[in-house]
Chains A and B, each alone.
Chain A
Amino acid sequence: MSTDVNVKMEALAGVDPDALPLQVKDLHVEFRTRNGIAHAVNGVSFDLRAGETRAILGESGCGKSVTAQAIMGILDTPPGFITGGEILYRGVDLLKLPESERRKVRANRVAMIFQDALSALNPVFTVGFQLAELFRKHRGMSRQDAKARAVELLDLVKIPAAKQRVNDYPHQFSGGMRQRVMIAMALALDPEVLIADEPTTALDVTVQAQIMALLAELQRERNMGLVLITHDMGVVADVADRISVMYAGRVIEEAGVNDIYANPAHPYTKGLLESIPRLDLKGHELSAIKGLPPMLTNIPPGCAFNPRCGYAQDVCRQDPAPPLYQVSPSRTAACHFWKEVKGDE
């Protein structure tokens, strides 16, 4: 379907086919609530290459889903506002596009799988109808062709007896099957970038393995970039190329998957890895990170992690927050003491 992609390219002004499919630069998002301003995203940047898988890791509430919503242009506004930054699709800043253009990008080029599959499907329409609508709206297909494509897609995501199941309603599908339907919808229009927000959290390991294998296969076939949001450290180790670790709305470490797991350079990343139950820890206490993440309405000065950090010194408790230090040519970490944290190889 590569010719198809070229057709799409022309439809959006300013697209540079040689630019990266997705670049987020210094993104800021805040929620203006009765209890004050929640600083949910505070300068997030990352790149995504074609065919690459970038995992975004981080504690619950650190701003992962909000970042994804900002990229997709589906932020809950108000109370949420993007207060700074750029989101570039092949060089075009999506934040500057009118909503009509934005909608085209959302359907065709950058697609998303949501954290909660059931709530993202419409309960009153059949699964097949919802899939077919995409082709009718965005590809101008006839009812019949669209339906045939819907069956093909359900087949692709390995729904057994797709021809019959296409007429079922979402509630007639199991949790794992609904999740696969969501994946089918996201992939329907051949996006170049897929953002998957906890795509397998509700699923057990056997179904999770099937879905991750399916995503990997599609990525290879279509050279699709994948932003994978999850807190499952096992899944990340299995599929990610690069990782951004977030804490309190910031990226605090960015590196290739092997570097992160072998030699974390930020104390928070290190703490996360040490919290994973391991065989040799049976009968022992797990090393949890003590304390709790900060309230986003009241992030402490300096490094947001300092109240929980064993390495913290006075410099960590003072503004400005530590910058992203260059740990090696291909990795960064926002810790004044990254050398001590990382240790020698």
Chain B
Amino acid sequence: MSDVVLETRDLVKHFPLTRGIVFKKQYGAVQAVDGVSLQLRRGETLGIVGESGCGKSTLARLLVGLETPTSGDLFVQGKNMSKVSAEERRRGRRNIQLVMQDPYTSLNPRMTVGDIVGEPFEVHPDVLPKARRRAKVQELLDLVGLNPDHITRYPHQFSGGQRQRIGIARALALNPEIILCDEPVSALDVSIQAQVINLLEKLQKELGLSYVFIAHDLSVVRHIADRVAVMYLGKIIEIGTEDEIYDNPTHPYTQALLSAVPVPDPRRRGHRDQIVLTGDVPSPANPPSGCRFRTRCWKAQDICAEQQPLLEIRDKSGHPSACHFAEVRDVVHASE
């Protein structure tokens, strides 16, 4: 099992909803992440896709320890993070770094690029003596394709793509083995997006990194991921290799998601077999009983309201799928 660098078992994060200022009374909870189990292997990229608000960023924050789980376990390199000593937890954390969603707001505008990239050394001062930090920061800037002489510049002097590179350089500072990318390219246009993706793939090869890559652009995820997990309202509803998910999706939500991806080819216009979902995403504070997707699903039967479908391999799904009626439907190639 040494191949698994990161694992979660039944991870849950509920945000309490409270009323009252002095005497807070809880009247409910946002079930942002609700029972997620997954494994990340050495050197692989696990893509996570799903609708806005389905819990992707919350999951990422749980994985890097920025959020404490309501329940469930997180294993880093086989060690249960809630059962080890504080020192060991710190070392585990150092091994996982986060690249954040928005290159425009995730960097402190008052810090120089050198301070930003070198900040992890302030948090973990034992990693590198002060005298060698400047040289290390310049090396990191060089590694991500930025000019090492720009160490004294401020974030506003860089473009969106360059700012995202600064975030990547900072994430690499402590030589982590695992990097979590939360929508690292969503705010960028295609040509700059391609530069950043190429950089991530190059670093993975050179440094043997494992990635969790969160995005809502499904073609970007297909390009970079080895395996893909699809989330809906706090749960993983389908997981498999990139081929399994894109060529043989078996959950209706995955099928709808894939069929809605616009194809960058005007000749295909009007020839696509698009599944248009009706109805809105239910509130994560009050999810439907049974299958959470049933309120928007064209296959829903009584059983879907009564019984929560488990994420498991099924008769007509060779990879885990959380649908009572899981069945392959090729939506990506189903045009013409």
Partner of A234, one of B52, B161, B242, B264: B264
A301 at the interface (CB under 8 A from B): no
Interfacial residues of chain B within 270-295, with CB under 8 A of chain A in the complex: 274, 276-277, 279-281
Contact B263 A202 (CB under 8 A): no
Given contacts A258-B267, A286-B197, contact A208 B189 (CB under 8 A): no
- A292-B263 contact given A175-B52, A272-B191, A275-B194, CB 8 Å threshold: no
Q: A59-B192, A238-B263 given as contacts; is B280 within 8 A of A176 (CB)?
A: yes
Return the CB mask of A270-301 against B: 1 if under 8 Å, else 0.
01110111110110011111101100000000
Residues of A within 8 A of B269 (CB): 237-238
Residues of B within 8 A of A312 (CB): none
Interface assignment of A261: CB less than 8 Å from any CB of chain B: yes
Q: Which of B251-278 contact A (CB under 8 A)?
A: 256-257, 260-269, 274, 276-277
| Interface status of A209 (Cβ within 8 A of chain B) | yes
A253 to chain B, nearest CB (A): 15
CB neighbours of A262 from chain B (8 A): 267
Chain B residues with Cβ below 8 Å from A206 are 51, 256-257, 260, 276-277
Instruction: Decide: A275 and B222 in contact? CB cutoff 8 A.
Output: no
CB contact under 8 A between A285 and B52, given known A206-B277, A261-B264: no
The answer to whether B280 touches A288 (Cβ under 8 A) is no
Cα distance A205–B198 in the bound complex, in angstroms: 24
Q: Say whether A210 contacts B277, CB under 8 Å.
A: yes
Best-surrounded residue of B50, B52, B277, B279 (most CB of chain A within 10 A): B52
Q: Least Cβ distance of A125 to chain B in Å?
A: 22
Chain B residues within an 8 Å CB radius of A205: 216, 218, 257, 260-262
Q: Confirm or deny: B108 has a beta carbon within 8 angstroms of a beta carbon on chain A.
A: no
* Residue in contact with A275 in the complex, picked from B191, B263, B277, CB distance below 8 Å: B191
Contacts of B198 in A (CB 8 A): 285-286, 288
Given contacts A238-B269, A276-B219, A277-B223, contact A202 B52 (CB under 8 A): yes
Q: Specify which chain A residues have a CB less than 8 angstroms from the CB of B260 in the assembled complex.
A: 205-206, 208-209
Chain B residues whose CB sits within 8 angstroms of the CB of A277 once the complex forms: 194, 197, 219-220, 222-223
- A contact residues around B189 at 8 Å (CB): 58-60, 231, 272
Query: B201 an interface residue at 8 Å Cβ cutoff?
Result: yes
Given known contacts A275-B190, A275-B191, A275-B194, A234 and B159 CB-to-CB distance under 8 angstroms: no
